[in-house]
Amino acid sequence: MKIAFEPILSSDGKLYAVECLTRAYGKKGEKLNNTELFFKTANGETLNEILNYQLNVIEKNHHFFLNKKIRVSINLNYKSIGFIDPETLRKFNELEMLCLEIDVHDMLFLSDNGIEFLNSLNNEIWLDDLDANEEYPHLNLIKNIKSIKIDKYSFWRDFSNKNSVYELTKKYTSKDLNVIFEGVEKNEQFHTLEKKRLLFGQGYLFKEICEDTLKDLTVLLSTTPHHGG
């Protein structure tokens, strides 16, 4: 396994956050289907191992995120919540720049204990993969939601409707939520976000814009001993 970071840029052109992602590879170095492996096949125990792998890397390099004032987010799958131990909880509490991403579809599977657990944390919660055209009445179940991320497929598919983009942004910012638009991979997408003055965008296109910071982070990771690579 290897760690990758996908940049999230704010409208002022600064690196606001990075999403920490784990990439799995086969014995011959071929890239595996991570969505299938991590979100459809893996059980809670395996997902918790991946979570701890990411947390260990972030903890060892947390001074970088603190000094640069860059948030770092990781995905927290509902299956792994039951396997979180005191040591993992300690890391959640101590890593100031850590944000936890919950897939909005996982909300349907969260038990009362899972919701109570999320509400006991001090970390920012980000809801991931919201459909631009759907309503989510259960968002108020979790008290510390600070950002929502619009799924790239639904968003860019419907981007021609200018009013829907404005209304979508207003709907969430009026609730004091940051709106992060995923899937910025082309210059025209970036310029569209700029033109509409949307606050946050996420995508690998920003690797070029944030090249120096990401390069520093990559170098730091290459000198950090961790398992799984």
pTM score: 0.82
Paired residues of 3 in beta bridges: 22
224's CB contacts (< 8 A; 6+ apart) are 57, 60, 61
Residue 93 backbone phi and psi in degrees, to 5: -75, -30
Most confidently modeled range among 14-23, 25-34, 84-93, 209-218: 84-93
Supply the pLDDT for residue 204: 56
Q: What share of the chain is helix, strand, coil (3-state, %, to 5)?
A: 50, 20, 30
Supply the pLDDT for residue 30: 66
d(CA 190, CA 184): 6
Supply the pLDDT for residue 10: 80
**Domains, the chain, ranges and CATH?**
2-216 (3.20.20.450)
Helix (H, G, I), strand (E, B) or coil at 215: helix
pLDDT tens string 170-191: 888 888 888 888 877 777 767 6
Helix axis angle, 86-94 to 44-60, nearest 10°: 40
